Structure 1
Amino acid sequence: MKPLRFRGSALDDLRTFSTVARREVGYQLDKVQKGLEPTDWKPMPTIGKGVQEIRVRDETGAFRVIYVAKFSDAIHVLHCFQKKTQRTSKADLDLAAKRYGDLLKELNR
């Protein structure tokens, strides 16, 4: 099973989710670690090749976890956030893209 590696503040951000959302995200990431697909996800090619987003909802709102699992060393969680609007904010997309770019630089050393 691949380990999870959280980039930047992603783990701290995940810890701010509601208990229900945190548990669901944990369950979905466990599925990814086992090589399975999350229940509700979509590809995020604008951030980078192989990047995906887990979508979770509860009574307090919508939550997102952006990650990449294509590398052999680990599943890299790039960004965790609660959605405030229908459209994902440019700031959230830019942060995930920056963390993905930094990850690629580290892996290519």
Structure 2
Amino acid sequence: MPTHVQDTFGFALHQAQAGRKHDQAKPLKGFGSAGVLEVVETSQDGTYRAVYTVKFVHAIYVLHCFQKKLTRGIATPKPDIDIVRARLKAAQAHAAGEGDGRD
């Protein structure tokens, strides 16, 4: 990812950790509430997306970062949505195990 894209995503995550929302962060469609957010950044190389969740009290989980390859439409491609769903499920399991001594 280009440096300015990394900077945007990093700042968005920093703001999420501080309990704030980046100006470019929007709820990812298909995930109900605003607990799963997406930041989209464009560069001359294409469009990049970072998806993270703020559903859990003790951590921000980055679920997926990728370059959108398709040039048609703005929807997130199904394979990427599938990755987000699987990683959200893993994050839920990890968050549920916090405090029991497991890492």
- TM band (smaller chain): 0.7 to 0.9
Taking structure 1 as the reference length, the TM-score comes to 0.74
Measure, in 2, the Cα distance between the counterparts of 1:92 and 1:31: 24
Task: Answer whether contact 2:56 2:95 (CA < 8 A) is retained.
Answer: no
Structure 2 alignment gaps of length 5 or more = 98-103
Matched, 1:60 2:45: yes
Taking structure 2 as the reference length, the TM-score comes to 0.78
Matched, 1:79 2:67: no
Q: Aligned to 2:67, what secondary structure does the other structure show?
A: strand
Larger RCO (CA under 8 A, 6+ residues apart): 1
Give the aligned CA root-mean-square deviation in angstroms: 1.7
Residue 12 of structure 2 is aligned with which of 3, 19, 28? 28
What is the total number of aligned residue pairs between the two structures?
93
Q: Which is higher, the Rg of structure 1 or of structure 2?
A: 2
Matched, 1:70 2:58: no
Measure, in 1, the Cα distance between the counterparts of 2:32 and 2:92: 10
Task: Answer whether contact 1:48 1:97 (CA < 8 A) is retained.
Answer: no
Going from structure 1 to structure 2, the CA distance change for 1:30 and 1:20 (only over 3 Å counts) comes to: same
Which consecutive segments of 4 or more residues in structure 1 shift more than 3 A?
none
Matched, 1:88 2:76: yes
Task: Answer whether contact 1:21 1:63 (CA < 8 A) is retained.
Answer: yes
Measure, in 1, the Cα distance between the counterparts of 2:66 and 2:32: 18
| Alpha-carbon shift at residue 65 of structure 1 (Å) | 0.7
Which position in structure 1 is the counterpart of 2:100? none
Structure 1 alignment gaps of length 5 or more = 1-16
Task: Answer whether contact 2:28 2:38 (CA < 8 A) is retained.
Answer: yes
Q: Aligned to 2:90, what secondary structure does the other structure show?
A: helix
Q: Aligned to 1:100, what secondary structure does the other structure show?
A: helix
Task: Answer whether contact 1:47 1:96 (CA < 8 A) is retained.
Answer: no
